[in-house]
Every structure is written in structure tokens, then in C-alpha cells.
Amino acid sequence: MLADDNGVPPAASATIEAGPRLTNIDDPVTRTIALRGPGDVLRLEGGTVTKTMPAPGARDCAPNFFPYVEFADPELPWLYTPARPGPTNRLMPWLCLIAVEEGPEIVLSSLADPPVMRLSIASGAGQRLPPLTEAHAWAHLQDVEGAQGPRTVARLLSPMRLKPRAQYTACLVPTFEAGRLAGLGRDADPSGPLLAWQDGTAAQGQGVGRGQGRQGGPDRRKDTGQDHDWQGQAGQDQAGKDLNRKDRGRSR
């Protein structure tokens, strides 16, 4: 069964009927297959992310617009989602993009097993992390015109507004707790929470990219594994300059 509010199963399987039928054999051929979820993906392959905005190392990011990433595969943001669509028929992506202001409580470190990067937020994670119950609104598809003709791109946005002249680290992190735990080398808990962190809580141990942590009150620690990260600095407030107009296309 798929995940719901009661938690994420450590594994799932399904039985399908395969064809074609053989002559003089009435019984169908069946096969049990395993379904992949967010806990089965530790890192994204090279070339998966085709664009980051702002560019890595940028010093003049417009603080009045949201950072985003684009993917080569338009299905990727929802490919390993283990949950059903919500009441409004919105499907939550299995990854989300966060942008955290750098400081002594923000630490990026590498893990040997699994070989991923971990993002640790020592305190105040509840104020630094966006509410995952709104994650469906940060992912979308867009038809764009390119040199090779029209194509569809998938995009994840970070909903956190940047502060002028502040230094940020942007990271792709798991949306679901099973992915966060996998990134920290831990097994999923079938009775655990569905999402990697709860709205309004400060932290859960995990690394950005993939990871997990402890859930708690509004000033607790949060660690998560990560699949992709880069750094940049916001420039001065540029209200009125719509830099996103450079990306023309028909929204879907």
C-alpha cells in the first residue's frame, strides 16, 4: 500500500498480470515487482539538474525572486513520491529545494556511508525550513522554446524569500522522512511520520540531499541528506526587475 498520514512502509510490492497468453494455457502469468520510493535514491546522477537560478557563486541574486532548479527529466520531481494526491488532487514532489542563510548553526558535511552531503541546522530549523504541506505548490512543469524546438522542463522553487546582501546555501533535500533517513544511512520507520519535517518545528536530524533527524519543538536541531547544493549571495532589493521573464513558456 502507498504511504498515508500513518507513515511510510519500508517496502511495497504489487502483483501484475503479464502477457501475452500462451496457446493452450489458460492461467495468466503473474509477477511480483518491487516499487521504488524516496528511500531507494541516495544521489542524483550527473546531468540530472540542468539549470540552477541563481547560478552557483552568484553575488547579486535578486532577493525579491525565488531560487529554483530545473531537471532534464520532467517526471523527476514526482517520480518517487510514495503518497497519494491530497484532497485538492495535488501530488507532492519527493524532493524540495530549500535556501538557508549561512551562519554558525548551518553546517554542510560529507558522509562516507552513504556517500552523500549532510546539511545540519543546529537551531531554529522551524524558522529556516518551509512548510512541507505546501510542497506541491513549489513544483511545476513548463513548455519552453529552445534551439531544438519546444520542450517540457520540470522546476522546483524554494519558497523562502532571500534577504538583501545575505549569503545562502541552496540544497535539494528529501520531502519524505523515508528519504531523509536513507540519506543519513538509517532505516525507515513504518510507524514514523510521513514528511521529513513538520510545519513549525525547528529540526529533525538529517542531511540535505538525504538524511534524517529528530523531530521536536520550534528550536530543535535538524539534519538531512542532500542531492545537490550551491552557494550564492543576494544583491540589493531589485523590486520591479522581473528576472524570471527570461524564461518564456506556457505554464502547465
**Are the C-beta atoms of 222 and 203 separated by less than 8 Å?**
yes
Grid cell 549561512 in the structure block, residue: 102
Is the bond preceding residue 114 a cis peptide, omega within 30 degrees?
Answer: yes
- Report the C-alpha gap between 207 and 181 in whole angstroms: 9
**How big is the CA angle at 2 (ends 205 and 194), to the nearest 5 degrees?**
20
Q: What angle do CA 124, 140, 54 make, to 5 degrees?
A: 60
Contact call for residues 207 and 183 (beta carbons, < 8 A): yes
Cut 0.75: pTM above it: no
**228 CB contacts (<8 Å, ≥6 apart)?**
44, 48, 49, 52, 69, 171, 172, 209
Per-residue pLDDT of the chain (252 residues; tens, 9 = 90+): 344 444 555 555 556 655 666 666 667 667 777 778 888 887 888 888 898 888 877 777 777 788 899 998 999 999 999 888 878 888 999 999 988 888 777 777 777 666 777 778 776 676 778 888 899 999 999 988 876 777 899 999 998 888 888 888 888 888 998 888 888 888 888 788 888 887 654 433 333 333 222 222 233 344 554 455 455 455 454 443 333 333 433 333
Q: Which residues lie below 8 Å from residue 99, measured CB to CB, with a gap of 6+?
A: 67, 158, 160, 162, 168, 169, 170, 171
The grid coordinates listed for 47 are 546531468
Contact 118/108 with Cβ under 8 angstroms?
yes
